[in-house]
Amino acid sequence: MNPEALIMLAIKASIMLLVFGLGLHADWRDTTYLFRRPSLLLRSYLSMGIIMPLFAAGVAAFFDLHPAVEIAIIALALAPVPPILPGKQEKAGGTASYAIGLLVTAALFAIVTVPVGVELMGKVFGKDAHMTPGAVALIVLMSILAPLAAGLVVNRLAPGFAERIARPISLLATILLVAAALPVLFTAWPAIMSMIGNGTLLALALFTVVGLTAGHWLGGDIPDNRTVLALATSARHPAVALAIAGTNFQHQKAVLAVVLLHLLVGAVISLPYVVWRKRRHAGGTA
């Protein structure tokens, strides 16, 4: 197995461990949290599944960007919640049940919405673009649903054991993810730097700001839910976004660079919001 394949395997394993760790201190009812709250479900989908794709399409139409940037932004807008996000949402004071419920719901919805979105994306770029529900289902099954279910089963059968290993598992997963992601970032850095300019950073920053604003606004009356939806709307599953681009479009390396740049820009732009929400949560205000 070549080094690149080993790195990607390590990244996938670390993500699975992170989600497994989430399941170790979650409950089965958390997975159906949104299905038992149809109003919040509708607002969550409006924020993630309507506003952000429309914004991304607007960016592609009105900004004079590199094609890889346009493809990446639309692909990110179509992708579900990244598996590592619920931990960040909880640390920022978000509702744990909502964070996990949104992770599961967005993953299930993506099996249908991503193929439809890819078809529309192809029309925007004048290409015959396709992505099967099975391809999306495999990604979300391996990176989200299966490891989360495994963690839930362990928590159900041996709650004491689950509590003891949850923190070490999450710590190990985080270390593994950072160690595996650094070589990818180093390799892609020249391509990332070549993407900076001509409005790319502005477009990615706006993606994060619009996502935070839309999610916070539509999060409802519960302050912690606002935090969860804001962060979920502004950050998306990079593997699904890359699969969309890699299956249908050229500029795959350039798209990878844009997706990685989005992760960096999003982390920086969202940091003040995360700090603000932590303080508001500690003070018990919206």
Burial track 179-215 (b if 16+ CB lie within 10 A, e otherwise):
ebbeebeebbeebbeebeeeebeebbebbbebbbbbb
* Spatial CA neighbour of 78 closest among 112, 34, 42, 126: 112
84: DSSP letter: T
pLDDT confidence of residue 184: 77
Sign of CA dihedral 62, 65, 70, 72: negative
pLDDT confidence of residue 163: 92
Q: How confident is the model at residue 286 (pLDDT cuts 50, 70, 90)?
A: low
**CA–CA separation, 91 vs 246, rounded Å?**
33
Q: Which amino acid is at 106?
A: A
Q: What share of the chain is helix, strand, coil (3-state, %, to 5)?
A: 85, 0, 15
pLDDT confidence of residue 238: 85
Question: How far is CA 222 from each of CA 155, 228, 270, rounded to the nearest angstrom?
Answer: 27, 10, 20
Write the pLDDT tens digit of every residue in 137-155: 998 899 899 999 999 999 9
Contact 216, 229 (CB under 8 A): yes
How many CB atoms neighbour CB 3 within 10 A? Answer: 9
pLDDT confidence of residue 230: 94
pLDDT confidence of residue 70: 87
Write the pLDDT tens digit of every residue in 234-280: 988 888 888 887 766 666 677 888 888 898 899 999 999 999 988 88
Task: Identify the burial level of 48 via C-beta atoms within 10 angstroms of its C-beta, where 0-12 means exposed, 13-18 middle and 19 or more buried.
Answer: buried
Maximum pairwise Cα distance, the chain: 55
Write the pLDDT tens digit of every residue in 164-219: 998 899 889 888 888 888 887 788 788 788 777 778 899 999 999 999 999 999 99
* Spatial CA neighbour of 10 closest among 162, 149, 174, 151: 174
Q: Which amino acid is at 279?
A: R
- Sketch the domain layout of the chain as residue ranges: 3-283
pLDDT confidence of residue 152: 95
**Could you tell me what percent of the chain has a pLDDT over 70?**
92
Contact 156, 25 (CB under 8 A): no
> Reduced to 3 states, what is the DSSP secondary structure of residue 40?
helix
pLDDT confidence of residue 273: 93
Q: Which two tokens stand for residue 236?
A: 């998306």
Q: Across residues 224-230, what is the average pLDDT? A: 91
| Position 20 pLDDT exceeds 80 | yes
**CA–CA separation, 258 vs 194, rounded Å?**
10
**CA–CA separation, 270 vs 266, rounded Å?**
6
Q: Across residues 109-131, what is the average pLDDT? A: 83
Model pTM? 0.87
Region 3-283: CATH code: 1.20.1530.20
